[in-house]
């Protein structure tokens, strides 16, 4: 039976009102320009769990050093690698286990991506994923929007709604990384794939930038967040982490405390 597999990747940053990214008004751009403009905002995350190496991605949400990523990519002995070669031991600001989102902080601010809107995405439109697949370093993959308003269910029987589906290559290490539209603007955070083999199958899912904008301020303030959810149709197969070690415990998160 097919499985939806949560990838290792991604970071999004929460912001105070003065530090939030500007809204996108750019024109469509070439892939080379999109990567050169966004890659400095993306980070690679390395840690360990159960003696195994764990890889993930993330990106700066604001100019205060906040990085957003998925909880499931975080183990112990965490190191954040910036695109300019700097590396830091990050602080964990907080996390929301219901949505597998964590916010880290480092003493750096290399720039943030302009926020776009998932509401104007169309099926067939080009999108790009930047992340750290298999720990090889910051990389770009290209695909299209394959579907909108998708619903998946996690291993803890929580449903995630309104996800963007893409066929851009997503592999372990990509989770937490940004999904970017054809203008080079942030539209989501790569979080899961549908795959029987833990590798890219052309069926990936990203949380939308609007969902992140609801959840991250509550993480920064220490409040529990409740995201507006679309009732959607029946959920697809249950989501499980793609890991290089045991599945993390999302209720207590002993691996990241």
Residue 246 lies in a domain: no
Residue 140 lies in a domain: yes
Residue 101 lies in a domain: yes
User: Could you tell me the sign of the dihedral formed by the alpha carbons of 138, 199, 76, 101, in that order?
Assistant: positive
What CATH number corresponds to the domain at position 73? 2.40.10.120
pLDDT of residue 236: 36
Residue 129 lies in a domain: yes
* E-only strand ranges, the chain: 4-6, 9-10, 42-49, 52-60, 66-70, 76-82, 87-88, 91-96, 101-105, 126-131, 139-154, 159-166, 175-176, 178-181, 186-194, 204-208, 238-241
User: Could you tell me the sign of the dihedral formed by the alpha carbons of 203, 79, 20, 224, in that order?
Assistant: positive
pLDDT of residue 251: 40
Tell me which residues are annotated as active site: 72, 100, 175
pLDDT of residue 249: 41
Residue 255 lies in a domain: no
Q: Cα dist. 78→46, 74, 257 in Å?
A: 6, 7, 11
pLDDT of residue 4: 46
Q: Whole domain around residue 107: which residue ranges?
A: 4-241
Q: What is the pLDDT along the chain (257 residues), one digit of tens a residue?
A: 444 444 433 333 333 334 445 567 778 899 999 999 999 999 999 999 888 999 999 999 999 999 999 998 999 999 999 999 999 999 999 998 888 899 999 999 898 999 999 999 999 999 999 999 999 999 999 999 999 999 887 555 667 889 999 999 998 899 999 999 999 999 999 998 877 666 667 788 999 999 999 999 999 988 654 443 333 333 333 443 333 333 434 344 444 54
Q: How many domains are there within the chain?
A: 1
Q: What is the pTM of this model?
A: 0.80
Candidates 152, 123, 118, 128; CA nearest to 59 is 128
Candidates 133, 147, 66; CA nearest to 102 is 66
Residue 250 lies in a domain: no
């Amino acid at each position: 039976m097919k499985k939806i597999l949560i990838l290792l990747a991604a970071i999004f940053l929460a912001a105070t009102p003065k530090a939030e990214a500007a809204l996108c008004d750019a024109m469509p751009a070439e892939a080379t320009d999109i990567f050169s403009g966004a890659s400095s905002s993306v980070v690679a995350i390395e840690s360990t769990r159960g003696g195994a190496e764990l890889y993930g991605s993330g990106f700066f949400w604001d100019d205060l050093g906040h990085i957003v990523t998925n909880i499931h990519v975080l183990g112990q002995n965490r190191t954040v690698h910036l695109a300019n070669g700097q590396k830091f031991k990050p602080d964990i600001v907080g996390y929301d286990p219901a949505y597998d989102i964590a916010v880290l902080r480092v003493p750096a601010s290399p720039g943030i991506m302009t926020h776009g809107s998932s509401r104007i995405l169309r099926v067939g439109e080009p999108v790009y994923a930047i992340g750290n697949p298999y720990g090889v370093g910051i990389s770009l993959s290209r695909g299209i929007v394959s579907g909108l308003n998708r619903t998946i269910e996690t291993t803890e029987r929580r449903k995630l709604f309104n996800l963007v589906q893409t066929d851009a290559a997503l592999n372990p290490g990509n989770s937490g990384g940004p999904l970017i539209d054809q203008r080079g603007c942030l539209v989501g955070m790569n979080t899961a794939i549908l795959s029987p083999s833990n590798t890219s199958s052309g069926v990936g899912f990203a949380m939308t930038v609007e969902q992140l904008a609801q959840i991250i301020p509550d993480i920064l303030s220490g409040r529990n967040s409740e995201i507006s959810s679309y009732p959607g149709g029946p959920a697809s197969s249950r989501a499980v982490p793609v890991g290089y070690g045991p599945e993390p415990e999302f209720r207590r998160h002993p691996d990241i405390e």
